[in-house]
């Protein structure tokens, strides 16, 4: 039985045949549902015009008012995708030939044979399923192409000719001026949401709900990127529609919370007039990205309405946060830590009654630090397990003293991390990593584990290893292990299974395949010198 229930209508001016076809077989067991019985082609045509998703029309070829031929002709002219099964008498072959030229799936001669009907329905069902699979493959391929070209546009990584050709082919309208990018992601501070553990599945679910909420209201392209963020590209916007984008994103965030129980935050970039500046709108949205660490409810953060409160600016100036920012820009992280001590002294002396203003100013500095880490492709949550707890405590702190205590924990963690990253990038970290791999090759090493061991971002370490070794980390690890295995095969009497385990392979078959791939021989062939 098909996983889809196909809709069928039966058209015949003889009640006995019409009702007989309906009751002759168990339609549902074959994956079909009869949704209409009609005594004339005219009635059937009226029904088809309002119910275009009819998969199969079974019609008599000869009827008084509107024949089956005329019904078939109308279906084909309207380009409906319904399959057609003709019922014909022995003396109606000249009509049948005409029907076949217009495209029918089969014909049945009266009186109707049950087995022939079931056989025809099986063929039609199989044909419909093949067609569906092809359409799904085409849809998924088109979706992937659209996703890729939109990512190239927001990342400013494209050739103009390629963009114009592909956008025209994929019905992406870049001619209508006025664009704005919104980046949506999940809030890091939420707990106990199982869907969050599956990053890609979570992104897929969010995109589906967002697409449902957007509907066909305006030109909006929704797609994902490699970081599993959901990106909205609004096109054809003006000043009035810009003001409405924030409200639309609030509605989407509310629907996602209601349907998926997930809190999201949306970062609205600044608008731009031309498609070649879309990447600037994306960049401005990403400048706000680290706010996801500090919010705990569904939020919309608009670049064009960034916090410029006079009180906060005055407070920041009085405390000397601007000096901390200057040292941060110079990558003088050790000096920034020293200045942070002086900052603490001033912080204790200043009198500010509004705790919220203090918290906002402190968060701004933390965001600058996180932005520096992002430039180094470093994700703090992967390396500092207590960072999120410190953020939570900062967020809920209700006094100036508690605010500074938790801010110090956050700022010192970030600055020390930046200092270590800077030191590691200025030393031959690859040499240290290689020595570590050579000593621990038999363990279940991963690039992520090495990045934590040497306090450096995994993407950066992977790039450095590729440049200096001429091969990816996993490939280098395979070669180290296989070379160790070769030595053991030559000097010991241990079997290949034990040697595989000694050099770090838990699966013997996998060891065999890697050994053969690298040496061109099986372990036994190598041992025997074949």
DSSP 276: G
Torsion of CA 437, 440, 443, 448, to 10 degrees: -40
- Helix (H, G, I), strand (E, B), or coil: what is residue 158? coil
Which strands sit side by side in the sheet containing 83-88, from one edge to the other?
32-38, 6-11, 56-60, 83-88, 106-109
246 neighbors 268 (Cβ within 8 angstroms): yes
Identify the CA nearest to 373 among candidates 259, 455, 282: 455
Q: Which residues pair with 457 in a beta bridge?
A: none
Q: Using only C-alpha atoms, what is the Rg of the chain?
A: 33
Residue by residue, pLDDT tens for the chain (530 residues) are: 344 689 999 999 888 988 999 999 999 989 999 999 998 889 999 999 988 789 999 998 888 788 888 899 898 888 888 899 988 876 666 666 777 777 788 888 888 889 999 998 988 888 888 887 777 676 667 778 888 889 899 999 888 888 888 888 888 888 777 899 999 998 877 767 777 777 778 888 888 898 888 866 668 999 988 888 899 999 988 877 777 888 899 999 999 999 888 889 999 998 998 998 999 999 988 888 877 777 777 888 887 775 444 455 655 666 667 777 787 788 787 888 888 777 777 777 666 555 666 777 777 778 877 877 777 666 676 666 677 777 777 777 777 778 888 888 888 888 887 877 777 665 677 788 888 988 888 888 888 888 878 777 778 788 878 877 788 888 889 998 998 888 888 888 888 888 988 888 888 888 888 888 998 888 888 887 76
The pLDDT assigned to 180 comes to 93
Residue 203 makes CB contacts below 8 A (sequence gap 6+) with 224, 228, 229, 230
Torsion of CA 316, 319, 324, 326, to 10 degrees: 60
The pLDDT assigned to 107 comes to 84
- Cis omega before residue 163 (within 30°)? no
* Cα distance between residue 483 and residue 477, in whole Å: 10
Identify the CA nearest to 284 among candidates 475, 394, 154, 157: 154
Say how many CA atoms lie within 13 Å of 46 toward its Cβ.
Answer: 7
* Cα distance between residue 500 and residue 506, in whole Å: 7
* Cα distance between residue 502 and residue 442, in whole Å: 6
* Cα distance between residue 66 and residue 68, in whole Å: 7
- Cα distances from 436 to residues 403, 443, 444, 450, in angstroms, run 41, 11, 13, 9
Residue 78 has phi, psi (to 5 degrees) of: -80, -5
10 Å Cβ neighbour count for 391?
A: 22
Axis crossing angle, helix 41-50 with helix 68-77, rounded to the nearest 10: 20
The pLDDT assigned to 395 comes to 72
Identify the CA nearest to 233 among candidates 130, 119, 144, 155: 155
* Cα distance between residue 265 and residue 182, in whole Å: 10
60 neighbors 21 (Cβ within 8 angstroms): no
Structural element, H or E, at residue 57: strand 56-60
* C-beta pairs of 148-157 under 8 Å, 24+ apart in sequence: 150/221, 150/223, 150/231, 150/233, 151/223, 151/225, 151/231, 153/233, 153/275, 153/278, 153/279, 154/181, 154/225, 154/231, 154/233, 154/278, 154/279, 154/282, 155/279, 155/282, 156/279
- pTM attached to this predicted model: 0.47
- Helix (H, G, I), strand (E, B), or coil: what is residue 58? strand
* Cα distance between residue 217 and residue 172, in whole Å: 15
Q: Is residue 106 classed exposed, middle or buried when 0-12, 13-18 and 19+ CB atoms within 10 A define those classes?
A: middle
37 neighbors 60 (Cβ within 8 angstroms): no
Identify the CA nearest to 378 among candidates 272, 460, 315: 460
The pLDDT assigned to 357 comes to 66
222 neighbors 210 (Cβ within 8 angstroms): yes
The pLDDT assigned to 2 comes to 41
The pLDDT assigned to 404 comes to 80
């Amino acid at each position: 039985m098909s996983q889809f229930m196909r809709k069928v209508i039966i058209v015949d001016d003889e009640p006995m045949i019409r009702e007989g076809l309906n009751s002759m077989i168990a339609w549902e067991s074959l994956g079909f549902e009869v949704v209409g019985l009609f005594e004339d082609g005219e009635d059937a045509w009226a029904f088809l015009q309002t119910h275009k998703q009819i998969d199969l029309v079974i019609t008599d070829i000869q009827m008084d008012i509107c024949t089956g031929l005329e019904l078939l002709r109308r279906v084909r002219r309207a380009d409906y995708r319904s399959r057609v099964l003709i019922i014909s008498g022995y003396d109606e072959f000249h009509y049948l030939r005409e029907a076949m030229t217009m495209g029918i799936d089969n014909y049945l001669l009266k009186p109707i044979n049950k087995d022939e009907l079931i056989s025809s329905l099986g063929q039609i069902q199989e044909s419909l399923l093949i067609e569906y699979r092809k359409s799904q493959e085409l849809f998924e391929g088109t979706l992937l192409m659209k996703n890729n070209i939109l990512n190239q546009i927001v990342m400013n990584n494209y050739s103009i000719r390629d963009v114009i050709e592909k956008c025209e082919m994929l019905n992406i309208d870049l001619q209508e001026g006025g664009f704005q990018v919104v980046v949506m992601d999940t809030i890091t501070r939420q707990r106990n949401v199982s869907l969050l553990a599956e990053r890609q599945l979570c992104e897929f679910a969010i995109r589906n709900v967002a697409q449902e909420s957007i509907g066909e209201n305006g030109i909006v392209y929704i797609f994902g990127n490699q970081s599993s963020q959901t990106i909205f590209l609004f096109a054809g916007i003006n000043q009035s529609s810009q003001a409405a984008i924030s409200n639309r994103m609030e509605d989407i965030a509310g629907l996602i919370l209601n349907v998926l129980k997930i809190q999201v935050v949306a970062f609205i970039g600044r608008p731009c007039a031309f498609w070649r500046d879309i990447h600037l709108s994306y960049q401005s949205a990403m400048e706000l990205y680290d706010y996801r660490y500090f919010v705990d409810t569904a939020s919309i953060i608009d670049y064009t309405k960034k916090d410029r409160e006079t009180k906060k600016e005055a407070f920041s100036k009085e405390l000397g946060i601007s000096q901390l920012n200057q040292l941060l820009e110079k990558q003088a992280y050790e000096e920034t830590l020293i200045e942070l001590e002086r900052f603490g002294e001033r912080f204790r002396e200043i009198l500010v009654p509004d705790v919220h203003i203090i918290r906002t100013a402190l968060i701004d500095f933390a965001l600058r630090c996180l932005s520096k880490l992002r430039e180094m492709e470093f994700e703090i949550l992967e390396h500092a397990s207590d960072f999120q707890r410190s953020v939570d405590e900062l967020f809920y702190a209700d006094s100036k003293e508690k605010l500074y205590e938790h801010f110090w924990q956050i700022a010192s963690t970030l600055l020390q991390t930046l200092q270590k990253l800077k030191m590691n990038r200025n030393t031959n970290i690859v040499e240290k990593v290689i020595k570590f791999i050579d000593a621990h090759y038999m363990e279940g090493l991963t690039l992520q584990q090495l990045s934590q061991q040497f306090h450096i971002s995994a993407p950066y370490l992977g790039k450095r290893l590729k440049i200096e070794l001429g091969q990816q980390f996993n490939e280098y690890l395979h070669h180290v292990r296989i070379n160790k295995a070769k030595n053991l095969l030559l000097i010991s009497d241990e079997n290949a299974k034990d040697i595989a385990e000694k050099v770090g392979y838990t699966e013997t078959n996998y060891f065999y395949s890697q050994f053969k791939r690298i040496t061109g021989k099986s372990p036994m062939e190598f041992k025997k010198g074949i």
